[in-house]
Amino acid sequence: MNKTNIGFMVNNLEIGRFDCKEISEQQDKIANEIGNSNNVQLTPKIYKQALACAKRYECLKAIENELSNMRRHRGFNILPLLWNVKPIGGGWVFALKPATDDKPAHFKARNVAQGNSQLSGFNFHNTFALTETFTSLWILLMLAAQSGLHIATLDFVAAYLNTYIDKEICICPPEGLMVLMGSGCCLREALYSTKQAGQCCVYLNNDCGVIRWLQIDNGAVFAKKQTDITALRSSLCIKWDDMLHNIIGIDINHTNDGFHLGQEHLILSIINKYWDQQSLQKSPLPVKHNLTTLTNNDNVIRQPDFIAAVGALSFVATGMRPDISFALNLLARHSKFPGKDDWFCLQHLLGYLSGTSTWCLTLTPHGHTPVLEVYSDASLEGECLRMSHGFVRRLSGCSIVWCSKRLMTVALSSCHAEFMALGIAARHGKWIRNLTTEFMLKPLVINLKCNNTSCMKIATDCSPNKRMRHSDREFFITNQLLHEGCPTLEWFVSGNRLSDVLTKAMGPQLHLSFADKLLSC
């Protein structure tokens, strides 16, 4: 559908009908009442809540600081709006920054535009932005521990206000900014949530061994020499810290030979919000559960809360806790119709996290030659059912990336399921090999682990196979990589594979032993 085509609206237009206007006024009235009644909320959500909350003056001070940043960067010009110009809406977003050693807790305000109302080809063209991953950060930390790199953290001041904007975009004046009626703000620099805000460029200088890992306006810098960080520090007007203590909500503790990573604060906040505090558990899932069977429950219980809890736990599982990935994958399948049994399993998982909230992911590299071990596994859930697969990759003895998912393809046998899981694991192993090469490392030695002898024969045999010719081509990347001599393929005992915890439920003792191996080195 073409967004610029308004023929449908014109054909359905009725002169003299003001139902939409009345509904809009009623919704604005309800929003104002909610904002005025929520005085006990610590962090306001909208501007009206900021005016009514107990921290009113702190919020107004944060707004004034953000407006001064926009004036200093000359982010916009206040001009009268033409009759044919429709400004983009927006609003204020507030966040409470925790206290640090040299600064107390304070509010931060950001003026965010409604970028979803921009039209492609009219006020923006193609957009592109690099996306950071946990894997890249873990590899850099291991490289720093192994090579003795210097680390510093940085925080950009008004990061998105440094982005050039190539289209004429007008926004509604931010609340709290006094302008004449009929005026708007014509942007000169990008604003938060605009399509141009995510654009970035990458500059590589081979003469200077500096690697920067950025997540919006926060990041870490890794360098071989302290003088390189000092030179970068003098050229950028940003906040610096000579140590890496916390980034993207992850606490980082330095040791003599590596790092310990934890998310205790985030886990406790999720537990305090969703856990019923019945009992602690020793495994993510109860012994008897029916999560593998999808049913449309007639009595859907608190679906928004269920989705919010699963979404928050997904961030924890992706970055720090591979031991809950399989349980969370099963729970996510029931997000549309959560019932009583689904909530029972979710509470069981929260009870397990409550007792293990202090667990840390250890990044302590072993050996001088980096070796990437890739463990893959598949669980055939029955005839005509989609398979569950999982993999874990360990770089120099430390877990850096893992996955527990369900494929869209139906596996016809256990060999077929293992072959598809091995293909996915090999593909990601190749990506990590290319990534580490860009990080000034020698090409990695990839060691694929598999426990299915039939799968290994198919992966090492490039001759046509009638039973596998219906498989998608992407799964045969293992054959290509083995032919190129990139990875090695080894048979492994099933009971000792670390990826087993990502594809099947286990008893408490067996699960704890696998979790300890995954999180430690």
What's the pLDDT tens digit per position in 251-295?
A: 888 888 888 888 888 888 888 888 887 778 888 888 776 656 555
Residue type at position 414: S
* Cα–Cα nearest to 377, from 484, 496, 516: 496
CA 179 and chain centroid, separation? 38
Two tokens, residue 370: 């980096």
Query: Do 395 and 347 reside in the same domain of the chain?
Result: no
Name the nearest CA neighbour of 111 among 32, 28, 190.
190
DSSP structural state of residue 141: H
Task: Tell whether 177 and 67 lie within a shared domain.
Answer: yes
Burial of 104 (0-12, 13-18, 19+ CB in 10 A): exposed
CB 450 within 8 A of CB 491: yes
* Two structure tokens written together for 71: 């004036």
Element (H, E) at 390: strand 386-395
The structure tokens listed for 141 are: 């930390």
Quote the number of domains for the chain. 4
- What is the H or E stretch that residue 272 is in? helix 264-274
As a whole number of angstroms, the distance between CA 297 and CA 334 comes to 9
Is there a single domain that holds both residue 209 and residue 323?
A: no
Q: Is the dihedral of CA 159, 116, 314, 319 positive or negative?
A: negative
Residues 346 and 399 placed together within one structural domain of the fold:
no
Q: Is 21 domain-assigned?
A: no
Strands 445-450 and 371-379, bridge-based pairing = parallel
- Residues in the chain where the model's pLDDT stays below 50: 35-40, 201-203, 384
The residue written with tokens 């990139």 in the block is: 486
Structure confidence at residue 40 (pLDDT): 41
- 372 and 405 inside one domain: yes
> What pLDDT was estimated at residue 356?
87
CA–CA dist 309, 323 (Å, integer): 17
**What are the residues facing 450 on neighbouring strands?**
491
Query: In whole angstroms, what separates CA 458 from the centre of its chain?
Result: 35
Residue 104's alpha-carbon distances to 113, 219, 368, in angstroms, are: 29, 21, 43
- All residues at 6 or more sequence positions from 196 whose CB lies less than 8 Å from its CB, including other chains: 124, 127, 163, 164, 165, 166, 167, 169, 190
Least Cα distance to 379 among 427, 429, 416 occurs for 416
User: Domain of 494: which CATH number?
Assistant: 3.30.420.10
The residue type of 502 is: L
Other C-beta atoms lying within 10 Å of the C-beta of residue 165: 21
Kindly list the distances between the CA atom of residue 40 and the CA atoms of 14, 37, 61, 282, 424, in Å, as whole numbers in the listed order.
44, 9, 19, 37, 49
| Distance of alpha carbon 244 from alpha carbon 153, whole angstroms | 6
3-state secondary structure of 444: coil
Predicted local confidence at residue 296, as pLDDT: 57
CA angle 375, 377, 382 (to 5 degrees): 180
Answer yes or no: is 116 within a domain. yes
Q: Assess if residue 105 is contained within a domain.
A: yes
Q: What strands, in cross-sheet order, belong to the sheet with 371-379?
A: 398-410, 386-395, 371-379, 445-450, 487-491
Is the same domain home to 310 and 386?
A: no
- In this structure, the answer to whether residues 278 and 293 fall within a common structural domain is yes
pTM of the model: 0.73
Question: End of a domain among 312, 333, 355?
Answer: 355
| 8-state DSSP, 372 | E
448 & 396 share domain: yes
pLDDT of residue 163: 64
The secondary structure of residue 226, as a DSSP letter, is H
380 and 495 fall within a common domain: yes
pLDDT for 37: 47
Q: Is 372 domain-assigned?
A: yes
Residue 284 per-residue DSSP state: S
Which residues fall within 8 angstroms of residue 62, CB to CB, at 6 or more apart?
94, 106, 107, 108, 109
Does residue 26 belong to any structural domain of this protein?
no
Q: Is residue 9 part of a domain?
A: no
Task: Please check whether residues 169 and 41 belong to one and the same domain.
Answer: yes
Q: What is the DSSP string of 71-135?
A: HHTT-EEEEEPPTT---B-EEEEEEEEPP-SSS--EEEEEEEE-GGG--BTTTB---------HH
Give the chain's radius of gyration (CA, Å). Answer: 27
Q: Are both 317 and 462 inside the same structural domain?
A: no
430 lies in some domain: yes
Q: Is residue 422 part of a domain?
A: yes
Largest CA distance in the chain: 78
Structural domain of 223? 135-157+202-245
Whether 376 and 439 map to the same domain: the answer is yes
